[in-house]
């Protein structure tokens, strides 16, 4: 059994659909003691319909930093950066529906719905503005949409190797027609995997003792306390239906966040770029043209798109994190910490100057 199967399967989606990064930081074989703090849920904010959204907050001060994870990740992905940021200001990570300690959802898991859940959760938990929004990968979409909806409340932004607006089209423009075919096949493979998990649980055929595909397994770095805290949630078939919806809406999300009029004025903003050059996984090599196009997307088109994101603010900047894979917050946490601390300091300076 591959104990990292769920993480590995979703990582394929991140690799192609969201970032094109060459690799993710690999979890250590031994349990990670830094994950112990995430074994106890904090605020379970009521968002209606019997659902709860989990917020994990540390520190004190203003502005409040809001951490949004990428596809397949939850609050624990911030374990290497959240405690350090908490020494500077209040910092809250949140879990999308179906992840971590948040309830599953029957609503479509597109960026409009997930952003609405974040908005409702912050109100219910009395986590008020001003905010500095921080988004990794897919979390870049919620960070943009939240900032668009609450421009007066967001005083800074850090995007970490984020998904880019209109990403599917930009990929196809560089990779060619094979891009759409691979995208469809990869999405189908992931939905089939998680659909099998859901069906097995509903039929009573899937149990922790009978789990050949690793549906209920945890990453190797999870300590026993965290496994125990999450165990019952792993057994909820609605969790897997929610994950499927999130995966199926990724391309639509890329279109939803397009806004040609978006302008963040003088807001402090930093876009961190993973330095590892993306390559198309060998199992998907259909032609040399597709391989070359994918490399061009990663080395040129993606980075150009990041410059355009940074240009949304006249104080925006990009920073290349040399050698880092996609999950910069895990592989090069200090780069994230320094970017967030800089944006927080600039936001505070702006507030004092008003």
Look at residue 191 in the predicted model and tell me its pLDDT: 93
* pLDDT tens per residue, range 228-257: 999 999 999 999 999 999 999 999 999 999
> Model confidence at 284, in pLDDT bands (50, 70, 90)?
low
| 150 assigned to some structural domain | yes
Stated as kind and residue range, the H or E segment containing 91 is strand 91-94
Whether 351 is in a domain gets the answer: no
Beta bridge partners of 44: 54
- CATH, residue 192: 3.40.50.1820
Sequence-ordered list of residues with C-beta below 8 angstroms from that of 61, at least 6 positions apart, any chain: 88, 89, 90
Q: Higher pLDDT residue, 279 or 329?
A: 329
Whether the pLDDT of residue 18 is over 70: the answer is no
Domain that holds residue 21: 5-345
Confidence of residue 283 (pLDDT cuts 50, 70, 90): low
Q: Residue 206 pLDDT more than 60?
A: yes
Per-residue pLDDT at 5 exceeds 90: no
Q: 10 or 81: which carries more pLDDT confidence?
A: 81
Report the C-alpha gap between 348 and 344 in whole angstroms: 6
State how many domains the chain has. 1
pLDDT at residue 7, as a whole number = 41
- Examine residue 354 and state whether it is found in any structural domain, yes or no: no
pLDDT of 316? 98
In a domain, 240, yes or no: yes
User: How does pLDDT run across 68-122, given as a tens digit for each residue?
Assistant: 999 999 999 999 999 999 999 999 999 999 999 999 999 999 999 999 999 999 9
For residue 33, is it within any domain?
yes
Q: If we measure between CA atoms, which residue out of 163, 188, 4, 186 comes closest to residue 70?
A: 163
Please list, in sequence order, all residues whose beta carbon lies within 8 angstroms of the beta carbon of residue 308, skipping any fewer than 6 positions away.
Answer: none
Q: What is the full DSSP assignment across 23-70?
A: -PPPPPSS--GGGGGGGS--EEEEEETTEEEEEEEE---SSEEEEE--
Domain assignment present for residue 57? The answer is: yes
- Write down the pLDDT at residue 3: 36
308 in any annotated domain: yes
pLDDT by residue (tens digit) across 20-62? 222 333 445 588 888 999 999 999 999 999 999 999 999 999 9
352 part of a folded domain: no
Q: pLDDT class for 15, splitting at 50, 70, 90?
A: very low
């Amino acid at each position: 059994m591959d104990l990292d199967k769920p993480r590995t399967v979703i990582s394929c989606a991140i690799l192609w659909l969201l970032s094109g990064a060459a690799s993710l930081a690999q979890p250590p074989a031994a349990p990670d003691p830094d994950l112990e703090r995430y074994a106890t849920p904090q605020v379970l904010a009521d968002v209606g319909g019997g659902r709860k959204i989990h917020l994990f907050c540390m520190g004190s001060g203003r502005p409040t930093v809001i951490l949004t994870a990428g596809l397949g990740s939850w609050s624990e992905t911030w374990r290497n950066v959240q405690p350090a940021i908490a020494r500077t200001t209040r910092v809250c990570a949140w879990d999308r529906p179906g992840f971590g300690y948040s309830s599953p959802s029957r609503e479509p898991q597109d960026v409009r719905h997930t952003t609405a859940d974040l908005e409702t959760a912050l109100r219910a938990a009395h986590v008020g503005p001003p905010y500095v929004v921080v988004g990794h990968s897919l979390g870049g979409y919620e960070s943009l949409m939240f900032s668009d909806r609450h421009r007066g409340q967001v005083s800074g932004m850090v995007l970490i190797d984020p998904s880019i607006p209109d990403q599917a089209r930009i990929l196809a423009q560089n990779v060619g027609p094979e891009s759409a075919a691979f995208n469809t096949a990869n999405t189908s493979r992931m939905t089939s995997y998680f659909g099998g998990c859901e069906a097995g649980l509903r039929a009573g055929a899937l149990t922790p003792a009978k789990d050949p595909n690793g549906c209920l397994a945890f990453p190797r770095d999870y300590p026993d306390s965290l496994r125990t805290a999450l165990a019952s949630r792993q057994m909820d078939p609605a969790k897997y239906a929610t994950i499927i919806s999130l995966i199926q809406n990724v391309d639509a999300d890329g279109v939803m966040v397009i806004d040609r009029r978006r302008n963040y004025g003088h807001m402090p903003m930093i876009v961190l770029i993973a330095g590892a050059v993306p390559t198309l996984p060998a199992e998907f090599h259909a032609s040399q043209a597709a391989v070359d196009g994918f490399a061009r997307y990663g080395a040129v088109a993606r980075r150009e798109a990041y410059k355009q994101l940074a240009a949304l603010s006249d104080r925006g900047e990009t920073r290349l994190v040399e050698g880092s894979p996609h999950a910069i917050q895990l592989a090069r946490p200090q780069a994230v910490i320094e970017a967030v601390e800089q944006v927080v300091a600039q936001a505070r300076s702006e507030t004092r100057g008003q």
